[in-house]
Amino acid sequence: MRDSIDEHIAAWSEELTDLDPVQEAIIGRIHLLARHSTQGRQHALRSSDLIMWQLKTLLMLRKVGRPYTASPSQLAAMLSLTRGAMSIRLSTLEELGLVKRAHDATDRRRVQVTLTAAGHEALDATLGAEGEAEGRMLAGLTDAEKRALADLLRKVVLRVEADTG
C-alpha cells in the first residue's frame, strides 16, 4: 500500500538526489499526522464553543489536580503569559461561568481560580471529541502496534528534548 507521503518521496527523489527516503517518510508522516491532529482539535473546539486559549487555560486548571484550583500567577506561569494577560483571560472565563475566582480563606490578599462544573463539562466535551478524532487516526493499529509506536516516538522526543535542553 502506498500513501501520499510515498508519492511525495517518489516525486522528490528524482529532483533531490541526496534525499534520505526513510527520514523523509518519517518526518513527512509526522507532519501529516500533526496537521490532522490539529484539525481534529479545531473541530472539537468548534463543537464545544471554546477557543484555543480557553481550552489551554481550563486544561491547566485540570492538570493541577483536585480541587482544580490555582492562583492567577501560577496559571500565568504555566501558560507563559503576563499576569495582566491572565487577568483578562480569567475575566472572560469567569463571565462564561467556566471558572470562579475567590479570595483565599487563609490570606484574603490572595486569589484562587477554580474550575467550575460548567468548566469541567466544556473541557470534557472538547477532550472527548478530540479523543474520538485521535482514535480514528490510530484505528488501523493493533494495541501492540500502538504501544510500539508510542515507545519509538518516546525515543525521538527524548532526543529532541536532550538537544534542546
Could you give all domains of the chain from N- to C-terminal order, each with its CATH number? 1-48+118-165 (no CATH), 51-115 (1.10.10.10)
Asked if residue 47 has pLDDT above 90, the reply is no
Reported as a pLDDT band with limits 50, 70 and 90, residue 48 is: confident
3-class SS of residue 102:
strand
pLDDT > 70: percent of the chain: 100
Q: Please give the pLDDT value at position 106.
A: 84
Residue 129 grid cell: 471529541
Q: Is residue 52 a contact partner of residue 58, using CB atoms and an 8 Å limit?
A: no
Reported as a pLDDT band with limits 50, 70 and 90, residue 131 is: very high
Reported as a pLDDT band with limits 50, 70 and 90, residue 36 is: very high
Q: Is residue 104 a contact partner of residue 98, using CB atoms and an 8 Å limit?
A: no
